[in-house]
Amino acid sequence: RKEVEQDPGPFNVPEGATVAFNCTYSNSASQSFFWYRQDCRKEPKLLMSVYSSGNEDGRFTAQLNRASQYISLLIRDSKLSDSATYLCVVNRRTGRRALTFGSGTRLQVQP
Amino acid sequence: DVKVTQSSRYLVKRTGEKVFLECVQDMDHENMFWYRQDPGLGLRLIYFSYDVKMKEKGDIPEGYSVSREKKERFSLILESASTNQTSMYLCASSPQTGAEEPLHFGNGTRLTVT
């Protein structure tokens, strides 16, 4: 089983739609969680960290469910510029301290 | 702004060649990482380093080695390139301040081994 699993998509949504992605992680020792965004043929960039209480940044909302070991990303009022691959990322405080990436969920926002 | 620079954007090498991928960061970060990215597999950690002359294996170190002689530079070495090492290689850095610190990536080196 992969340590971080995501639905690869693609999610094809119209402009203005609300879309949500989930990501599950297998290691209960995971302590830090992030969403990164990767545009086609570009490097990944941090979109937002995910806090235990949930957090919001403009149209983006991230939530963490430790009991079920998943994190989610909600995008409201989708824009064409939101089209990208969204990578779920976790970090463990025990053992190897390095980020583990999911393989990404591709979002295509259509006019 | 943090800048992570990878020496080559595209590289074509022959099977059996020794290949060096160079990465330099300009923000005095302690941590540096090498990932490879393949379709359907995502980013996989090859090696990382928390300090000069220090290295740790990631998930897929076989066929690779690394060198960190200076804090700003982290090199990935393919001892004898093979076709299954054709991939996008991404270098990243982060400060030592904690697990929550985001990674800053270079723009990648697309390596083709023929």
pLDDT of residue A93: 57
pLDDT of residue B94: 87
Closest CA to B15 of B93, B86, B109: B86
Whether residue B95 lies within 8 A of chain A, CB to CB, comes out as no
Contact A43 B106 (CB under 8 A): yes
Confirm if A64 and A55 have CB atoms less than 8 A apart.
Answer: no
Q: What one-character DSSP code corresponds to residue A31?
A: E
- B78: pLDDT strictly greater than 90: yes
**Digit-coded pLDDT (tens) for B11-51:** 999 999 999 999 999 989 988 999 999 988 889 999 999 88
Whether residue B87 lies within 8 A of chain A, CB to CB, comes out as no
Average predicted confidence (pLDDT) for chain A: 91
User: Before A10, cis peptide (omega within 30)?
Assistant: yes
Average predicted confidence (pLDDT) for chain B: 92
Beta strand B87-94 pairing with B73-78: unpaired
Distance from CA of A12 to the nearest CA of B (A): 18
Confirm if B113 and B89 have CB atoms less than 8 A apart.
Answer: no
pLDDT of residue A19: 97
pLDDT of residue A52: 86
Distance from CA of A15 to the nearest CA of B (A): 27
Whether residue B58 lies within 8 A of chain A, CB to CB, comes out as yes
pLDDT of residue B2: 67
Contact B103 A99 (CB under 8 A): yes
Whether residue B56 lies within 8 A of chain A, CB to CB, comes out as yes
- Give B-chain residues touching A101 at CB under 8 angstroms: 35, 42-44
Q: What is the pLDDT along chain A (111 residues), one digit of tens a residue?
A: 778 999 999 999 999 999 999 999 998 877 789 999 999 989 999 999 998 888 999 999 999 999 999 999 999 999 999 999 999 998 865 555 578 899 999 999 999
- B77: pLDDT strictly greater than 90: yes
Residue B69 burial class via C-beta count within 10 angstroms: exposed 0-12, middle 13-18, buried 19 and up: exposed
CA B85/CA B100 separation, integer angstroms: 30
Distance from CA of A86 to the nearest CA of B (A): 11
A/B interface, count of CB pairs below 8 Å = 47
Amino acid at A106: R
pLDDT of residue B103: 86
Residue B99 is nearest to which of A31, A45, A104, comparing CB atoms?
A: A31
Residue A95 region by backbone torsions, left for phi larger than 0, else alpha for psi between -120 and 50, else beta: left
Closest CA to B7 of B97, B84, B86, B111: B111
Please report which confidence band the pLDDT of residue B68 belongs to, taking 50, 70 and 90 as the band edges.
very high
Q: By CA distance, what is A106's nearest residue in B?
A: B40
- Give B-chain residues touching A102 at CB under 8 angstroms: 42
Amino acid at B30: E
Determine the average pLDDT of the residues in B88-102: 80
Q: Which residues contact A60 (CB under 8 A, 6 or more apart)?
A: A35, A47, A48, A73, A74, A75, A76
Contact B99 A91 (CB under 8 A): yes
Determine the average pLDDT of the residues in B66-93: 96
